[in-house]
């Protein structure tokens, strides 16, 4: 079953993390077990405190949803041992209509690949040079369906030599005359005797009996009987060779499950192999990749919560299938390949929407999940003081708090005391709730820190401005803004670098300072971004 990742935006805040977790829990409760909550960045101190309080682990961290080899419908043919016979390899290819087989070592790691072309080349070579080297006796018995007639003797374990069919001829004109031979005979006692007297490596007796008198002079010659005729035996002797001798095992091109399709396609274009082995994290063979597998790759599936803007979403989104969007922000620039379910409502928190979806499905979240969702609503609405807050947010948060048996005031105190600890760097605080926007050709970053003591953070103003200048320069942004939102003062200390004149004009800031207090400004989404959009638009 393919996983569907439910993910919030980059640099996730509490609402983003919890809405992904809550929606995944809802989907799974409805029997859709393939849904998995994910995150695109590190958990903030605020979010971690809440997760710890209600007994949850952070969602899975994913870096991108680019299509990987593991997303392809690649082939999974049998993987043969390097010690298996050529006959076994050929039968496997014929039975499965497979052109290339992976060959593995004993531990499952890649040894090489065996193709029909490898077998054909070997067959042609064996016609011109009818000689075998180092064939294990047990391999020979297997392919010839034979048995050793002189097992009690000191026979060799490995067969080698020039392969000869003993045709009727005078003793002076025998086609074999040296010990280094493998002789194929029929019902020809004289030929068998001559071969045994010469102490050849091996005598293959086809569809005939060998007298006990002859076996007594066999010595260390291996005498094998087979029900096959001489022609079949001649061809199958060569197919008793281990496939490690003829398969490709040098300069191999292979891929891993986590390799990205973009990179794989480039490598395939530069090579001419028919198929490529696929390896797992432990270098074991798991399948084979052919060119046609790259034509229609199976894309990863995602559900977006708490955002609908490409710059804030997971990397590689254009290679994924978006199934749903659940959000409370303005509609932005995300495009989909097919019609999808979109739920975008004017409320203060995505968790408010998710909680209502629980109601609509006739389900109640667990007490711990309800407490976590209530905390996320308190966080995103700034204790219900944000202009984005609605009565629905307040009602839903109170209902969830009752289920969890917690108070919203207690949650608020824990939340807004967590974001600005003395031990945190200015850069870490800046990235806690950081978003980038692209508005009418302007590239803008807005970070927000919500606190109950903005004066303590303003004392570190120089540190924040230094970090903002660094972001402004490295990211190539027009403007970088930091909102230090004070819950008790019900306003925001605004710091800004870059296009400072535009910021002053947008918010009526006088003077030359790049810091100002904006009363009743609490929301990035509803107050800061719309104001700048109106000015630039």
Query: Residue 480 is encoded by which pair of tokens?
Result: 């970088």
**How many whole angstroms separate alpha carbon 500 and alpha carbon 532?**
12
The domains of the chain are located at 4-67+300-416, 71-124+244-294, 426-536
For 515-527, how does the pLDDT look when each residue is reduced to its tens digit (9 = 90+)?
A: 999 999 999 988 9
Residues 340/322, Cβ–Cβ less than 8 Å: yes
Classify residue 435 by burial, with Cβ atoms within 10 Å: 0-12, 13-18, 19+.
Answer: buried
Give the list of residues 6+ apart from residue 314 with CB closer than 8 angstroms, or none: 5, 7, 10, 40, 62, 64, 65, 302, 320
What value does the mean pLDDT take over residues 423-427? Answer: 85
Name the helix (H) or strand (E) containing 351: helix 350-360
What value does the mean pLDDT take over residues 297-318? Answer: 93
Q: What is the DSSP string of 121-175?
A: HHHHHHHHS-EEEEEEHHHHHHHHT-EES-TTS---SEEEEEEEE--S--GGG-S
Model pLDDT, residue 168: 64
Model pLDDT, residue 177: 56
Per the listing, tokens 């499950």 go with 257
Q: What is the DSSP letter of 315?
A: B
Model pLDDT, residue 172: 44
For 199-224, how does the pLDDT look when each residue is reduced to its tens digit (9 = 90+)?
A: 888 999 999 999 988 888 888 889 99
> Is pLDDT of 65 > 60?
yes
DSSP H helical ranges for 227-260: 230-238
Model pLDDT, residue 170: 43
**How many whole angstroms separate alpha carbon 158 and alpha carbon 185?**
20
For 330-342, how does the pLDDT look when each residue is reduced to its tens digit (9 = 90+)?
A: 888 888 889 999 9
- Count of CB atoms situated within 10 Å of the CB of 501: 9
Model pLDDT, residue 6: 98
Classify residue 341 by burial, with Cβ atoms within 10 Å: 0-12, 13-18, 19+.
Answer: exposed
**How many whole angstroms separate alpha carbon 2 and alpha carbon 355?**
26
What value does the mean pLDDT take over residues 43-60? Answer: 93
Sheet holding 275-279, edge to edge: 255-256, 275-279, 285-290
Model pLDDT, residue 169: 54
DSSP H helical ranges for 476-508: 500-507
Q: Residue 324 phi/psi, 5° resolution?
A: -150, 160
Tell me the sheet residues that pair with 60.
Answer: 38
Give the list of residues 6+ apart from residue 133 with CB closer than 8 angstroms, or none: 160
**How many whole angstroms separate alpha carbon 7 and alpha carbon 334?**
14
For 157-201, how does the pLDDT look when each residue is reduced to its tens digit (9 = 90+)?
A: 888 888 988 876 544 445 555 678 899 999 889 888 988 888 888
> Is pLDDT of 66 > 60?
yes
What value does the mean pLDDT take over residues 62-79? Answer: 93
Per the listing, tokens 């097992």 go with 151
Residues 287/76, Cβ–Cβ less than 8 Å: yes
Average of per-residue pLDDT values in the chain: 90
Model pLDDT, residue 178: 65
For 103-135, how does the pLDDT look when each residue is reduced to its tens digit (9 = 90+)?
A: 999 999 999 999 999 999 999 998 888 888 889
DSSP H helical ranges for 55-146: 86-96, 116-128, 137-144
71-124+244-294 classified as CATH 3.10.580.10: yes
What value does the mean pLDDT take over residues 356-367? Answer: 97
**How many whole angstroms separate alpha carbon 501 and alpha carbon 514?**
9
The alpha carbon of residue 233 and the mean position of all alpha carbons in its chain are separated, in whole angstroms, by 48
pTM: 0.69
Percent of the chain with pLDDT over 90: 64
Model pLDDT, residue 173: 42
The hierarchical CATH code for the domain 426-536 is 3.10.310.20
**How many whole angstroms separate alpha carbon 480 and alpha carbon 445?**
5
Residues 263/70, Cβ–Cβ less than 8 Å: no
**How many whole angstroms separate alpha carbon 45 and alpha carbon 262?**
36
For 319-332, how does the pLDDT look when each residue is reduced to its tens digit (9 = 90+)?
A: 999 999 999 998 88
For 495-511, how does the pLDDT look when each residue is reduced to its tens digit (9 = 90+)?
A: 999 999 889 999 999 88
For 144-155, how does the pLDDT look when each residue is reduced to its tens digit (9 = 90+)?
A: 999 998 876 666
Tell me the sheet residues that pair with 483.
Answer: 448, 494
> Is pLDDT of 352 > 90?
yes
**How many whole angstroms separate alpha carbon 393 and alpha carbon 374?**
9
Architecture of domain 4-67+300-416: Alpha-Beta Complex (3.90)
Residues 87/239, Cβ–Cβ less than 8 Å: yes
């Amino acid at each position: 079953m393919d996983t569907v990742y439910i993910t919030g935006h980059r640099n996730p805040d509490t609402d983003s993390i919890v809405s992904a977790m809550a929606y995944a829990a809802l989907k799974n409760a409805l029997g859709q077990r393939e849904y998995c909550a994910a995150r695109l960045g590190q958990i903030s101190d605020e979010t971690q405190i809440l997760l710890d309080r209600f007994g949850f682990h952070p969602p899975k961290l994913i870096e991108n949803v680019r299509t990987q080899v593991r997303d392809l419908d690649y082939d999974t043919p049998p993987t043969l041992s390097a010690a298996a016979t050529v006959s076994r390899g050929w039968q496997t290819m014929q039975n499965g209509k497979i052109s290339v087989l992976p060959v593995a070592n004993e531990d499952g790691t890649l040894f090489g690949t065996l193709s029909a072309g490898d077998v054909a080349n070997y067959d042609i070579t064996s016609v011109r040079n009818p000689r075998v080297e180092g064939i294990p006796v047990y391999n020979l018995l297997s392919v010839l369906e034979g048995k050793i007639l002189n097992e009690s003797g000191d026979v060799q374990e490995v067969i080698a030599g020039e392969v000869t069919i003993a045709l009727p001829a005078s003793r002076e004109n025998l086609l074999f005359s040296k010990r280094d031979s493998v002789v194929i005979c029929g019902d020809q006692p004289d030929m068998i005797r001559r071969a045994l007297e010469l102490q050849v490596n091996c005598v293959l007796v086809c569809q005939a009996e060998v007298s006990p008198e002859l076996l007594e002079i066999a010595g260390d010659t291996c005498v094998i009987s087979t029900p096959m005729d001489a022609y079949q035996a001649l061809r199958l002797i060569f197919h008793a060779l281990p496939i490690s001798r003829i398969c490709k095992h040098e300069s191999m091109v292979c891929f891993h499950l986590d390799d990205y399709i973009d990179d794989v396609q480039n490598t395939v274009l530069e090579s001419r192999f028919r198929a490529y082995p696929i390896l797992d994290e432990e270098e074991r063979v798991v399948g084979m990749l052919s060119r046609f597998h790259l034509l229609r790759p199976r894309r990863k599936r995602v559900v977006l919560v708490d955002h609908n803007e490409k710059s804030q979403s997971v990397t590689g989104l254009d290679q994924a299938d978006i199934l749903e969007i659940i959000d409370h922000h303005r509609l932005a620039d995300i495009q989909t390949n097919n019609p999808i379910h979109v739920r975008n409502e004017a409320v203060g928190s995505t968790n408010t929407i998710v909680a209502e979806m629980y109601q609509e499905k006739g389900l109640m979240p667990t007490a711990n999940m309800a407490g976590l969702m209530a905390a996320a609503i308190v966080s995103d609405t700034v204790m219900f003081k944000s202009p984005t807050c609605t009565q629905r947010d307040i009602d839903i948060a109170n209902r969830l708090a009752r289920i969890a048996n917690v108070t919203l005031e207690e949650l608020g105190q824990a939340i807004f005391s967590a974001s600005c600890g003395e031990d945190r760097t200015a850069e870490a605080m800046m990235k806690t709730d950081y978003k980038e926007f692209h508005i009418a050709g302007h590239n803008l970053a807005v970070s927000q820190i919500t606190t109950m003591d903005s004066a303590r953070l303003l004392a570190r103003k120089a540190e924040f401005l230094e970090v903002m200048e660094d972001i402004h320069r490295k990211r190539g942004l027009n403007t970088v803004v930091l909102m230090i939102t004070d819950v008790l003062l019900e306003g925001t200390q605004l710091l800004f670098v870059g296009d400072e004149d535009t910021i002053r004009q947008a918010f009526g800031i006088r003077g030359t300072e790049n810091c100002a207090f904006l009363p009743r400004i609490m929301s990035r989404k509803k107050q800061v971004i719309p104001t700048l959009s109106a000015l630039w638009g």
